[in-house]
C-alpha cells in the first residue's frame, strides 16, 4: 500500500494534469485529438478515483487495527516518534492533500455524469467545470507543500545518516 501511495498516486495525478493541459492547449500533445484527450483524461480521473478509494479503505483498516508487539525500547521510541509526527504539520498537510484531491476527483466525476451521461440530477451545476478547473490550479500549491515536507524529511534523514557515519 505504501508503494501505491508513493508512486501510483503521483503518476496518476501527473497523467491527469498532462491530459488536462492537452485539453486546454491542443499544441501541447499534437498526436492526440480533443476527443481522445478527453477520453484519456476521464480514464485517468477514474483511475485516480479508484486509487483514492483504495487508500481510504487502507487508512480505515489501519486505524481500527490494534498495534502489535513492541518488545524493545527502540521500537517503543519509534512508536512514540510516529505518534508525535502523525499529529504534526505533515499529518494535516496530508489530510488536506487527500481531501482536496478527493474533492477535485468527485467534482470531475459529477462533471462526467452531467456532460457525458446526460445526468440532470441538479440543474444548478453549470459552474461545475469552472470550479473543477479552479480547484485543480489552487491545489498545485498544496501539492508543492506536501512534497516539500516529504523532501525535507528525506534530507533530515540523510543528514542524520551522514552525521552518524
Q: Where are the domains of the chain?
A: 2-66+97-164
Torsional sign, CA 92, 95, 101, 105: negative
* Confidence check: pLDDT of 17 > 80: yes
Torsional sign, CA 78, 82, 84, 85: positive
CA distance 26 to 88: 42
What does pLDDT average to over the chain?
74
Helix, strand, coil percentages (3-state) for the chain, rounded to 5, are 80, 0, 20
Q: Which of 7-16, 65-74, 90-99, 149-158 has the lowest mean pLDDT?
A: 65-74
Tens-digit pLDDT profile for residues 90-148: 666 677 777 888 888 888 888 877 777 776 666 666 677 778 777 877 777 777 777 77
Tens-digit pLDDT profile for residues 40-66: 888 888 888 888 888 878 777 776 555
What residues contact 20, with CB distance under 8 A and at least 6 apart?
Answer: 41, 133, 136
* Confidence check: pLDDT of 14 > 70: yes
> In Å, how far from its chain's centre is CA 148?
15
Q: Residue 70 has what pLDDT? A: 46
The CA-based dihedral angle spanning residues 62, 96, 132, 139, taken in that order and rounded to the nearest 10 degrees: -130
CA distance 132 to 100: 11
Cell of 63: 486505524
CA distance 118 to 147: 38
Amino acid at each position: 500500500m505504501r508503494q501505491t501511495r508513493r508512486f501510483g498516486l503521483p503518476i496518476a495525478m501527473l497523467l491527469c494534469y498532462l491530459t488536462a493541459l492537452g485539453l486546454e492547449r491542443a499544441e501541447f500533445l499534437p498526436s492526440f485529438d480533443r476527443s481522445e484527450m478527453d477520453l484519456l483524461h476521464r480514464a485517468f480521473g477514474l483511475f485516480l478515483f479508484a486509487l483514492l478509494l483504495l487508500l481510504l479503505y487502507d487508512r480505515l483498516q489501519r486505524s481500527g487495527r490494534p498495534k502489535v508487539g513492541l518488545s524493545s525500547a527502540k521500537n517503543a521510541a519509534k512508536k512514540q516518534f510516529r505518534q508525535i509526527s502523525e499529529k504534526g504539520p505533515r499529518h494535516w498537510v496530508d489530510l488536506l492533500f487527500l481531501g482536496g484531491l478527493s474533492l477535485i476527483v468527485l467534482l470531475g466525476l459529477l462533471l462526467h455524469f452531467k456532460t457525458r451521461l446526460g445526468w440532470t440530477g441538479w440543474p444548478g451545476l453549470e459552474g461545475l467545470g469552472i470550479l473543477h478547473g479552479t480547484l485543480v490550479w489552487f491545489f498545485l500549491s498544496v501539492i508543492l507543500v506536501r512534497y516539500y515536507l516529504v523532501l525535507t524529511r528525506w534530507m533530515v534523514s540523510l543528514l542524520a545518516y551522514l552525521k552518524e557515519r
